[in-house]
Every structure is written in structure tokens, then in C-alpha cells.
Structure 1
Amino acid sequence: MATYVEKGDIYFFYRPKVNVEKVQGLDDVQRTYMVLAPDDGDAARLFVVGKKRMPKIPQGKPQSTAREWMMNDMTGKPKEIGKALAPLEYDTKTQGEQEQGEAIPVGEGRYAIFERNNSTRLAYRLSSPDKPGKAQRELGILAEASYIISVRNPELDVPGFPDSRPNYPKRLQEKFAEKRWIDIDDSKLLDYESAQFLLIGAHDALSEEEITLGGKPNLFKTLGLKKRNWPTEALEAGKLSEPQMEPETREPAGDPSKGGERGGKAARQTSSAAGVAHALKGVDFPCNKADLIKQAKANHANDDVIKVLNEFSQRQYETMADVQKAVGEVR
């Protein structure tokens, strides 16, 4: 019998490489993303999928040896995730002005994270497209699938995984003890940027998992995207397609999978959600408003960050996602 950790909507996106005119396969893809939007809570999570495709699950076999990592690239309000997937235009020192197209939706459905047979599983079932096509096959996205999922201990090195580390509070870090990997018994382990996970293919039929996945996802509404502006061939017909939107002029996000940080130095020196998160590095959740201000001052945060924190309500903050939500409420 499965014990559920959480349920929600799952969305898949791919972002083509810069200056690719025709997307023909995985080699033309820069990055593949998975978005988890839990039913309970106001935040969603954007994950980078390692090597750009989900682990292979041989048809009809009970479990695969194929495995892959994924990493939390961003946690925030669903509409903030939507903005992160939009196109952008930016300047580089070596190549001048560059355009990065929007991430293209390639799947939406429902997911569950649950405990079964002494392991944690991530399972999903697509509602769109009706039948996976070439776009989904290139990215290893099946009509339905389940994976054994474990979270990496950020204090231990793991060959082949990114160098970036999540800033887990003491309460969560203690769950690892000396273990390199642990099951996800607390969904908050998923919430921290740069948190890393191992996926191992389990089943290509959810009947094997004996779980239920009800509900109807709405990718565009949840992420605040205007459907008429986004390419939908991959999502609706399973066909690989190219970006079609006009980019905004803004700085590209850093690449945590290569040791960078989202937003760069400029963002970390402001009172934005990224700047506040940087100022609170090392804070021990759960905590209250006074604890947040104390930690920010200990980290020599600038006056703008302290001013934002002073406007927070007097309540308990469980995770950095709670803090980021509060930043949005007071700005």
C-alpha cells in the first residue's frame, strides 16, 4: 500500500540551444525541465533534468538500471516559474547580443511522490499529449512512468553530480546522518534550490504501483502563460518545434548545474527574492521574523534587504519558499 508524500501537477519543457533554427533531436536541446506544482501550497519547483532526458525504462520490465540526476533550479510562485521559462535577450562579452528562446512545453499531467517497498517513488501520468510522439521519445517522457527517487546528501561528494549545494536547515540536514542518499519522507527536501536527486527507472505502467492519479492539470493557467503566445505542437501533437516568441531584454540566469548561482551577483545584491535568499544563507528553519533579521545582519546584508525583512509579518517561516512568498507580499 502506497503512502503519499504529495500529489500535484507535473509539466515538462525543453529549451533549444541558442541559434538553433530547426530542432531535430536531443542534440539540439540545451536543457530539459520538469516542473512540480503540488496541490498543497503556493510554491512550485523547477528542476533541471540531467543529460536532458528521463532515465530509460525498458518496456514491460519491472525495473531499469538506467539512472539520471535532476536538480532544483528554482522554487517560487508558479507564475515566477513561468517567467523563468520565457525567452530573453542578453549581451555577452565574447559574442555580443544573444537570444535564448522560450522553453517549449512538451508534456503535462499529474504526479505523486509516495513511499512503497522501502523506497520513495515519483510517478506521473500525462494528459497531454494524448499519445507521446517524437518530442517525448527524444526526452524519455512516457505516457506514464514511475521512478525510484532519492535525495543526495549535500555534505558528501558524488561523482558525476553538480558541485552546487542546497542550503538545507539543520532539521533537514540531520536526516542524512552519514548516508549519501535518503528517501524523501518530507516534501520540504524538494524545496531548496540546488537540491539534487537520483532517479532510477521503475515501471512504465502505473498499474504496477497501485496508486491513483486524479485531477486535470492546466499548465498555462497555473504558470500564468498565455497559450496563444507559446508553441504547442510538442504538447498537443508530440512534434518537436522551435521558439516563436519575442525575447525580453534581461540577464540570463546562472547555471547551478555547473557551479553557478541563479541571477548572478547583481540579483544577490538586491532586495529581490534571490537577494533575500542569499542574505539568509545559513538560516535554520523553522524560524520567526526576528531570526531572519538576525541572520541577514550576520551575513552583512544591505539596508534594502533588512527593510524588506522588517516588513514581514510576525509568524513562523518553515522554508525558504515561505520567505520568497513573503517577499512577494511586501514588495
Structure 2
Amino acid sequence: MTTATRATANDSGPESETAAIESHAQPGSKHKPEPEGGNSPQSKRAKTSEAQAAEQQAEEIEGESESESGNGNENENENENENENENENETETEIKNGAEPSADNSSSSPDAESGTAVERHGREGSDSAVPSSILEKGVIYFFFRGRIGIDEPSSVDDVARSYIILRPMAKDAKLGSGTIGDAGNSRLVAIPKKVLPQSGRDRWIAFVEKSRVSFKQLKEDFLASSDYDTKTAGTRHAPAATPIGEGVYVITTTGRENHLAYVLTLPDKLGEVQTKMGLKSQGSFILSTKNPEYPGPANARLPETPDFPKEVQEEFRSLRWMPTQPKHLDYANTQFLLIGESSGTDKALEPQGDDDGDAGAEKPADELEKLEAEDEERMAAGLDGDDASRIFADLQAQAGDYPKLQTTF
């Protein structure tokens, strides 16, 4: 099928930076996440030592990243050079094609929807019934794309990069029957490292490739394969995106760090592909957003920075990193550290404040468990076909036009 031209190369970009980050950065450990709005007296009275510590830490990260940018991963970089050179212009175009966010940040709390499985105000007692430590919840999808010319990857080496699609829901919503529907608030996150981080030693930069996009945009600009012309190699073929998992997620705060925790509902059993790509039945990551006012190493810079409004930018103060807020992910080109957690979801779902000790308060783990049960029920009862058909039905795409959910290489 003929689709819009898009790029899938430039795979080795941030990897040199992240090699250095793996051995140093502890983003979020020096400061607590800022409240929404960023103008509270507490944020204005932030300790100078905190900012200085974060500044020093960031300088160490970037200094070592620069020194290592020409070392390590040499063989991989050499293999990727052809794709990188041919597609650097397409990559910039691809990033620019993402929907521009508006300043009201309303996408994280979509309005009431009709004809979808997302039932607004489905939770009893509205938002108050949801644990206060949960900042966002929704449905999550995992994909990868093969390298140029490789429609059926036979190993991780054949993968260009992996992706996460986040479809947020209102905090008080529940999942009913049918497909989730298109609220126009999906996010496409690119992970240049290909595999997902597994432990605290695995720290690398991901970025929001597209923000506030519709399923139509995802179908045309991401899911589909494409052919494009290059000056040096003629027509090249970029394969379609391949699904490897679907589930539910929550973004939580522990007061010191923010986390993304997920539970897979598809496939029922992890296969070779899921294991090698770093997926788990349930897992979590620490998230920390990079301050766009500070440039990273030259080999890890995007063509454009996120267009944060003034109030969001001010929350960084002089810090180079801060715990990721859901609103950061509503802006294309946002770069953030994705740090693995070997403890599963334990830390990410630890009760905080009113979630702990209040007889009427839900626990974060309980909310994620409810969401998982709802997703499993709707998939089993309301969506027919194999796993890939169910995923593509959710994204309003015809499964026959795209690869099956891959479980073996």
C-alpha cells in the first residue's frame, strides 16, 4: 500500500550519550517533582544546594557523553551509517509531522466520549476514588520496526528501534466493552536503544516522536510501510510497524521519583520476542525529563526542542532533569530518561500519602489491577480475532494491512 514517507533510521543517535548516563545519572533523586502549575511558594523556595547538585550531576553526564561520543558501539554505528546518512532528512520531517500541542494541556483529561470502551466517571466517587499518587492511567501498546528492507526481523539486530504508544484516559474513567475509541490524545514514544531497559543500570534517552495524535495519523504516518527515494541507493523500503504487546499503564509519583508501571494483557504468554525486547508481564521504569534549555551532546540532539509553555519551563528552575509529569509527554520532541527497574512494579506502586493508611483510599496497585481486569474482559468479550486483530481494531486499522503480533524471531 502507498503511504506517507517516513524515516526509521538514525537509530544510533542517542546511544553514545546514554552509555555515559548508564553509569552516572540519578535523575529525580536530588529533588522532588513539582506540583502542577509550578508557581507554588514551595517551588520558589527550592534549596540552592539542590539545584547545584543537579547541575553538577548533569554536567558530569554531558561531559562524559561528549568524551564517549566517538567511542563504544563502533561496530553498530558503522553498520547503521548508511541508514543514518540516507534518512537524516526524513527523520527531521517525521518529527515535525507530529501534531502540535495546544497550551491548555487538556489531552491528559479527555472529555466524555461516546461509542468507546472508555467510560468517563466510571469509578465511584470520581477522581477522589483514584489514588493521589497516580498522575495518569491509560492503555499502552508496544511496537517495533524492522531495519530498512527487513519486513520480518529474525533477531534484535534486525530491529531499527522500538516504540510505545500511550493512550491516556481520565483518572476517574473505567474500561467497558469494545474498542477504546480515538480521543486524539495518543502519544508515540521512540526508543532508539531498541530494547527496553531492564534494571537501574539501563538508562537511556527516549523521546516523544508524535504528541496529541489521532489514530488516523498513527495509521498513516507510523503503522504503515513506505517506500522512499535516496540519492545514493535509489528506492528504499521502510517496513510496517510490528505489534509485540498491549496492556494498561499508570504514571505514578513517589514524591521523589515518577514511574511508568504497566501490565501486559496481550499476548497471554510472553514469547521469545517479548523477552528479548525487554517486555515483562508487568514492569516499570523511572522517568525523568530533560530540560530543553540545556543542550545535550551533539549526537543526541533533535532538530527541534519541545514547545513547553512558560509555566512548564519555569518548573525546571535551573535543574537539567526533573521527574516526568504526564503533561511533558504532550509535547513532541520531549526527551526523557527511561530507567529500568529490576524490582518489577513494587516501587512504582508503593502507596503514598493519602493512599496509605486511609481506610477509604485505593492503593495504586489496586487501581492498576482493576484496569488490567477491565482490559482483559473487553478484549475477550468484545474484540474478535487474534491478538494483532484486537490491537489494530483498537487503533481503528485493518489488521490485514499490517504484520501479525510477533512472539518468535
Q: TM-score range by the shorter chain?
A: 0.5 to 0.7
Equivalent runs, 1:274-313 vs 2, <5 Å: none
Q: Among residues 164, 187, 206, which one is paired with 1:34 in the alignment? A: 164
1:226 paired with 2:368, answer no
- Return the letter of the residue paired with 2:398: K
The one-character-per-residue Cα deviations of 1:135-173 (angstroms, maximum 9, x if unpaired) are: 112221111111111111011123474344212121211
Cα distance in 1, alignment partners of residues 270 and 249 from structure 2: 17
CA apart distance, 1:174: 0.9
Could you tell me whether the CA contact under 8 Å between 2:262 and 2:283 is conserved in 1?
Answer: yes
2:203 maps to 67
Cα distance in 1, alignment partners of residues 318 and 192 from structure 2: 25
1:312 maps to none
Q: Does the C-alpha gap of structure 1 residues 100 and 148 become closer, same or farther in structure 2, counting only changes over 3 Å?
A: same
- Return the letter of the residue paired with 2:141: Y
Could you tell me whether the CA contact under 8 Å between 1:79 and 1:222 is conserved in 2?
Answer: no
Q: How many residues matched?
A: 230
Cα distance in 1, alignment partners of residues 204 and 268 from structure 2: 26
1:97 paired with 2:203, answer no
Cα distance in 1, alignment partners of residues 215 and 394 from structure 2: 6
Equivalent runs, 1:311-322 vs 2, <5 Å: none
1:162 paired with 2:295, answer no
- Return the letter of the residue paired with 1:202: E
The one-character-per-residue Cα deviations of 1:11-58 (angstroms, maximum 9, x if unpaired) are: 11111011226522111011211111111353100011131111123x
Q: Among residues 104, 114, 127, which one is paired with 2:265 in the alignment? A: 127
- Return the letter of the residue paired with 2:286: I
1:47 paired with 2:189, answer yes
Identity of aligned residues (%): 33
Higher RCO (Cα < 8 Å, 6 or more apart) = 2
- Return the letter of the residue paired with 2:338: L
The one-character-per-residue Cα deviations of 1:81-100 (angstroms, maximum 9, x if unpaired) are: 23222111222222112211
Q: Among residues 218, 230, 247, which one is paired with 1:81 in the alignment? A: 218
Q: Does the C-alpha gap of structure 1 residues 80 and 22 become closer, same or farther in structure 2, counting only changes over 3 Å?
A: closer
1:141 paired with 2:279, answer yes
* RMSD, aligned α-carbons: 2.0
Q: Does the C-alpha gap of structure 1 residues 98 and 202 become closer, same or farther in structure 2, counting only changes over 3 Å?
A: same
Q: Larger strand proportion, structure 1 or 2?
A: 1
The one-character-per-residue Cα deviations of 1:250-287 (angstroms, maximum 9, x if unpaired) are: xxxxxxxxxxxxxxxxxxxxxxxxxxxxxxxxxxxxxx
Residue 15 of structure 1 aligns to a residue in which SS? strand
TM-score, normalised to structure 1, is 0.65
Residue 68 of structure 1 aligns to a residue in which SS? strand
Unaligned runs of 5+ in 2: 1-130, 171-182, 351-364, 380-389
Q: Does the C-alpha gap of structure 1 residues 157 and 104 become closer, same or farther in structure 2, counting only changes over 3 Å?
A: same
Deviates more, 1:196-205 or 1:48-57: 196-205
Residue 167 of structure 1 aligns to a residue in which SS? coil
Q: Larger helix proportion, structure 1 or 2?
A: 2
Residue 27 of structure 1 aligns to a residue in which SS? helix
TM-score, normalised to structure 2, is 0.53
1:182 maps to 322
